Structure 1
Amino acid sequence: MVTPTSITELDPADPSFVANPHPTYARLRANSPVQLVALPNGTRFWIITGHDEARLAMSDHRLGKDPGLAAEHLRSGPNPLLSEKRPFGNHLLTSDPPDHSRLRKLVNKTFTVRRISALSPRIREISDGLLDDLTGRAQFDLVEDYASLLPTSVICELLGVPYDDRGQFRTWSTAVVSPNGGSAEQRDTAGYELRTYLSELIRLKAVTPADDLLSELVAVSEDGDRLSSAELLSMAFLLLVVGHETTVNLIGNAALALMRNPEQLARLAADPGLVDGAIDELIRYDGPIETSTWRLAITDLRIGAAEIRQGDAVLVALAAANRDPEHFPAPDLLNITRDASRHLGFGHGIHYCLGAQLARAEARTAFRRLSPMLRDHELAVPEEQLEWRPGLLARGLFRLPLRRITA
């Protein structure tokens, strides 16, 4: 049995962990797939690193999402792990059934697979335009000059952000959703300005609707039920996050993984028909989301050998579950022909990532053309100089500078 007396220290800010968390997760999983860990500030929570246990936890109704469920010591004190102060808090990632079911039902009526499929030609047009701008350049940054621009442009089209506002919108969104978005004061200011902008945009869509997702969210109803103003604002913000951050990290991580494995890159470049399976494997291997968002125990429960108490915080390490050797033989090897369809990179259960289909569509479009392009480029800096975003939630590079290989 795993008890609160068996605690392992975990430092998410350790540079070696930030650069490569997989060895640490492997050691944790080998010790116990569900384990109590402590941060350097003393905060304790349960981390799940096994694939089976992760799937169970993400579909267990006894683990909730509302921060108000957390034990008092996790919500107060000098270093609170969770807070109920959420300026964009009325969305799917902070709600539980029946509220979550209601919100998901309303959003699913507008954010559909059909809508994403219809957007595919426009995604390709945006992607090709960005890549055309890079063609012929001796050096560029794949994250800053492509991976961050593609999803921002796409989500602006989806939400119906006016063209002239997109530069400012990108500045706000980058500051709010990215760890390198500046100081806490700058992020707060950007968050306030983005909130004000989205509120006014929602008001305008209600008065003058257009053929865009935000207009449909304003109008959507189910048996007379509609999204409230606070819910519309939070949902617009959530779509911004899931439509931006996941794709930036997915493209950057996948490009680096392929360049580290040139034989796999060569196979993909030679056969674009492998791209769908390759995207699954690249997400499994080093996906854009390292861990789930927090879950809180609604009641005492047992997962594996762990006795979890009401109010305890639980974090599912998606990156660890995706390298569980019980499910993926030789998990530390990249193999784009592997069947990686059961990866947990986008979560599982009722909180499965809302933006998964959009991220897949953008990545699929990107790597059909990027794969052969990457074969002609190399890192423009030593690999040890690459910087990864800190924190446990998202996994992605700040920058990926590349240069064309000269004969």
Structure 2
Amino acid sequence: MTKSVADELAGLRLPVERSCPFAPPAAYEQLREQAPINRIRLKSGGEAWWVSGHEEARTVLADPRFSSDKRKEGFPLYTLDAATLQQLRSQPPLMLGVDGAEHSATRRPVISEFTVRRLAALRPRIQDIVDRFIDDLLTTDQHPVDLVQALSLPVPSLVICELLGVPYTDHDFFQSRTTRMVSRASMEERQRAFGELRAYIDDLVTRKESEPSDDLFGRQIAGQRQKGDLDHAGLVSLAFLLLTAGHETTANMISLGVVGLLTHPEQLALIKADPGRTPLAVEELLRYFTIADGVTTRIAIEDVEIGGARIRAGEGVVVSGLSANWDPMAFKDPAELDIERGARHHLAFGFGPHQCLGQNLARMELQIVFDTLFRRIPNLRLAVPVEDVPFKNDAVVYGAHELPVTW
């Protein structure tokens, strides 16, 4: 076992709220400097191993001896409370919460929906969506404008609705429930949002089973019927995962990416001069902000020695993507926003078999938004000092509640 948390960190319970929009909490760096893996206390209760080194994080995420199955006793509660975890366990498991052959069988039918080729066919439509919302921005006579409501939220919401076949007229409903679920609202509020969203998706899948459409869920239903094994509960779990993960994260990254580029004008100038650099900028912004603090949680199913720590079977593990993405052993001068560093090995989308299924869709949306926004509104600027932007410092998924901009 590594040495325990130092005296000055002994009372610390993780996660820690961010106090600076451009840096992880100082305690994360202190823990990483002490050891790449530490035994820590969780705010939600209990203890777990905190993995903050980049190399060690990738090792854990790729090692089948660490399970993502939340049904296992002792699974660490990082952002969940016990009641919400029990609620999740009462439903068919999400793709993120199963291992091995069960995970492969769940993921395999959906992979074809997110291939580079299929996503490339979506690019013109995504460009149309982005242009439409920027058209609306340019015709408004009200300044400042909240970019969160005007662009960051509606673009990924409309994209995921069209991809999945969800009525966009319902976007206010699922956005509000998803936002509440990933906030640190009261346990009762999060449970209510979970239940309401799950019921909505159950009804949506039922309707699509009656009238299959040419969209992701329609194709999943058709494929299952061909095999003669329609799995309604499994489709509900899949729909729940894709709908909740498919817009909230990308929306937050759009807002944060704009903040990052506007506050680093020399970096913004690089992509304005050469849009070919925008994919590099997207990777660096994903690393720099790492909106999911703890990229994932695991439980050891065997004794494992890693990073100088002996983790025993049944012990929980939290991989801190935020800390790993600021590990100077992997990223020189990590506090510098440098779009030319080549940060593709970041962990913002996880790593290993559970790496984010929709990562290339998110990358494409971010590239199109940044290129189009700064080309069409080259004098865009923050309407308030950056320290006055209301960031989601205490949320499970980091972002900005509002982003006032003008031009």
TM-score with structure 2 setting the length: 0.88
For residues 79 and 360 of structure 1, the distance between their equivalents in structure 2, rounded to whole angstroms, comes to 31
* Code of the aligned partner of 2:2: V
Q: Secondary structure at the match of 2:405?
A: strand
Q: How does 1:249-288 map to 2 (within 5 A)?
A: 249-288=252-291
In the aligned structure 1, how far is the partner of 2:296 from the partner of 2:83?
A: 12
* Further displaced range: 193-202 or 162-171: 162-171
1:294-317 Cα offsets, whole Å, 9 max, x none, are 111112211111111222211111
TM-score, normalised to structure 1's length? 0.88
What SS does structure 2 have at the residue aligned with 1:135? helix
Deviations 1:25-78 (A, max 9, x none): 222211111111123575311111111101101001111011232428x57xx9
Per-residue CA deviations over 1:327-368 (Å, capped at 9, x if unaligned) read 211111111112112111111100000110111111011011
Matched residue, 2:301: 298
Partner of residue 105, structure 2: 102
Cα shift at 1:14: 4.2
SS in 1 for 2:71: helix
Match of 1:308 in 2: 311
Larger mean CA deviation between 112-121 and 266-275 belongs to 112-121
Please, which of 334, 338, 341 is the counterpart of residue 335 of structure 1?
Answer: 338
1:182-201 aligned at under 5 Å gives the runs 184-201=187-204
- 1:93 aligned residue (93, 96, 99): 96
Unmatched tracts of structure 1, length 5 or more: none
What does residue range 130-279 of structure 1 map to in structure 2 within 5 Å?
130-137=133-140, 138-176=143-181, 178-179=182-183, 184-221=187-224, 224=227, 226=229, 228-279=231-282
Name the residue aligned to 2:85: 83
What per-residue deviation string (whole Å, max 9, x for no partner) do you get for residues 125-159 of structure 1? 11111111112543111222211111111111111
Let me know the Cα RMSD of the aligned residues.
Answer: 2.8
Q: Give the aligned partner of residue 358 of structure 1.
A: 361
Q: Write the distance in 1 (CA, Å) between the matches of 2:174 and 2:16.
A: 30
Deviates more, 1:350-359 or 1:3-12: 3-12
Question: How many correspondences in the alignment?
Answer: 399
Partner of residue 29, structure 2:
26
1:19-98 equivalence runs, <5 A: 20-39=23-42, 43-71=46-74, 80=82, 83-86=85-88, 89-98=92-101
Does the 8 Å contact 2:22/2:289 carry over to 1?
no
In structure 1, C-alpha distance between the alignment counterparts of 2:20 and 2:251, rounded to whole Å: 21
C-alpha separation in 2, matches of 1:10 and 1:17: 19
Larger displacement relative to structure 2 (330-339 or 192-201): 192-201
Residue segments in structure 2 that go unaligned for 5+ positions in a row? none
Q: Which piece of structure 1 moves more, 131-140 or 97-106? A: 131-140
Contact 1:323 1:331 (C-alpha < 8 Å) held by counterparts: yes
Name the counterpart of 1:318: 321
| Native 8 Å contact 2:62 2:352 kept in 1 | yes
Taking a change above 3 Å as real, the CA distance of residues 45 and 139 of structure 1, as seen in their structure-2 partners, is: same
Q: CA deviation at 1:385?
A: 2.8
Q: How far off is 1:3 after superposition?
A: 5.2
Contact 1:288 / 1:394 at 8 angstroms: preserved in 2?
yes
Q: C-alpha distance in 2, partners of 1:236/1:200?
A: 11
**Aligned amino acid, residue 112 of structure 1:** T
Contact 2:147/2:405 (<8 A) preserved: yes
Closer/same/farther in 2, CA of residues 51 and 374 from structure 1, 3 Å limit: farther
Q: Distance in 2 between matches of 1:278 and 1:136?
A: 28
Cα 1:312–1:106 shift into 2, 3 Å: same
Give the 3 Å change call, closer, same or farther, for CA 160–33 of structure 1 in structure 2.
same
Q: Percent identity?
A: 37
Q: Per the alignment, in what secondary structure is the counterpart of residue 384 of structure 2?
A: coil
**Structure 1 residues 46, 128: closer, same or farther in 2, change over 3 A?**
same
Q: Which residue is equivalent to 1:399?
A: 402
8 Å CA contact 2:119, 2:361 repeated in 1: yes
- Going from structure 1 to structure 2, the CA distance change for 1:102 and 1:226 (only over 3 Å counts) comes to farther
Query: 1:200 Cα deviation (Å)?
Result: 2.2
